[in-house]
Amino acid sequence: MNLKEILKQNPLVLAPMAGVTDKTFRGIVKDHNCGLLYTEMISTKGLIYGSDRTEDMIDIDMSQHPISVQLFGNDPSEFEKVVEFTQKKGADFIDINMGCPALKIVKNWEGAALMKDFKKAESIMRAVVRNSSIPVTVKIRKGWDEENIVATEFAQMAEATGVQGIAIHGRTREQFYSGKADWDIIKLIKSTIKIPVIGNGDLFEPEDVKEMLDYTKCDGVMIGRGAMGNPWLFSRSYNLLKFKEIIEPPTGRERIKAAIDHLYAHVEYKGEYQGIRQMRKHIAWYLKGLPNAANIRDLINTLETVAEINKTLTQYSENI
C-alpha cells in the first residue's frame, strides 16, 4: 500500500495506544471514518518467545484495513525474525516504535530511548526495511529532553534507511504528555524530508485536526488520547475536512449508548470476565464530564456481569 495515497484520501490516523487500540476499539474507530488504524505496540521479544497474549494483539479483522502493526524492541536481529510473521498476520504496514516514553520501555533501551542511540536505531530500521515486503514507518518524538532535540536529524536518517513514513509527537520523552506539543517541529520535519509525515500531539477537537494540517502541512494527523471514549472525534474531523461542516458532539445519552454497545462487542470478543475488566477504563472515558460520572464509574468497577452494567448505565442515561 502507498502511505501517501492513503493519507491523501483520509489523513486521520489512530495512534497506537497500549491497552486501548485493541480489535474492538479499532472497529469502532474505523466505523467513524478513521483512515489508517494502528495496533497496540507489540513486543518483538513477546512474538519470538511465542507469547499468546502478544500474538493475540495482532488479531486483524478483514474490515480493519489499512492497518499498521507497531513493533517495539531494541535488537535488530529480533526485528528481523518477526517481520515475516507480522506480514502473515495481515499487516499493511510495519511501524517501529521509537517514541514511547514509558519507564518500563525506555529502561530497556526501547521506545524513545532509541533516539539517544542513532546507530542502534538506524540498524533496526535497516533490518526491518531489508526484510519487509510491505512499507515500514517509524514513530518518534521531538527528542529525549530539551537539551537533546534531535527529531529533524533523526527523521533524515530514517528516510535514508528506506522508511516510507514518519509519525512525530511534538513532545520530548521528558515531557511525557505534559505541557504543550510543539507543532513547529512537525512543520520543520515536513519541510526537511520527502516521505509522508504524520503529526501527533494535542488533537482533542476537529478544529485542532484542521489547524495542525493547515499549520504544519503534514500529510496526516495521528489522534491518540483525544479518541479515548470519543470515537466521534474521527467522524467529526472527517466531516470538517471534507465538507467544511462542524457536527455537534454527541449528547450524554449517545455517549452512554456507545459505551454499552462497546461493552457488548468487547465481551463477545474477549468473554465476560476479561471483557468487563478491560472495558472499565473505556466506560470511564465515555462518561467523563457527565453529571455524577465519578460515582457511576466507581459503581461499575464493582459489577461483575454485563447485565448489571447495562442496567446501571441504562438507568443512569434515563436520569441525565
Q: How far apart are CA 90 and CA 38, in angstroms?
A: 12
Q: How far apart are CA 176 and CA 99, in angstroms?
A: 10
The annotation status of 18 as a binding-site residue, yes or no, is yes
Sequence-distant (6+) residues with CB within 8 A of 312 are 296, 299, 300, 303
The annotation status of 53 as a binding-site residue, yes or no, is no
User: Could you tell me the strand order of the sheet in which 166-172 lies?
Assistant: 12-14, 220-223, 197-200, 166-172, 136-143, 93-98, 67-72, 37-43
Residue 255 is placed in which grid cell?
Answer: 455517549
The annotation status of 224 as a binding-site residue, yes or no, is yes
Residue spans of beta strands (DSSP E) within the chain? 12-14, 37-43, 67-72, 93-98, 136-143, 166-172, 197-200, 220-223
Residue 62 is placed in which grid cell?
Answer: 478483514
The annotation status of 127 as a binding-site residue, yes or no, is no
Annotation marks residue 100 as catalytic: yes
First-to-final CA distance of the chain: 46
Tracing cell 497496540 back to the chain, one arrives at 40
Is there a contact between 83 and 128 (Cβ–Cβ < 8 Å)?
yes
The annotation status of 225 as a binding-site residue, yes or no, is yes
Q: How far apart are CA 258 and CA 260, in angstroms?
A: 5
- Residue from 14, 82, 100, 151 carrying the catalytic annotation: 100
The annotation status of 15 as a binding-site residue, yes or no, is no
Q: For helices 272-287 and 293-300, give the axis angle rounded to 10 degrees.
A: 170
Is there a contact between 34 and 14 (Cβ–Cβ < 8 Å)?
yes
Query: Binding site membership: which residues?
Result: 16-18, 70, 139, 169, 224-225
Annotated binding-site residues for FMN read 16-18, 70, 139, 169, 224-225
Instruction: Give the catalytic positions in this structure.
Output: 100
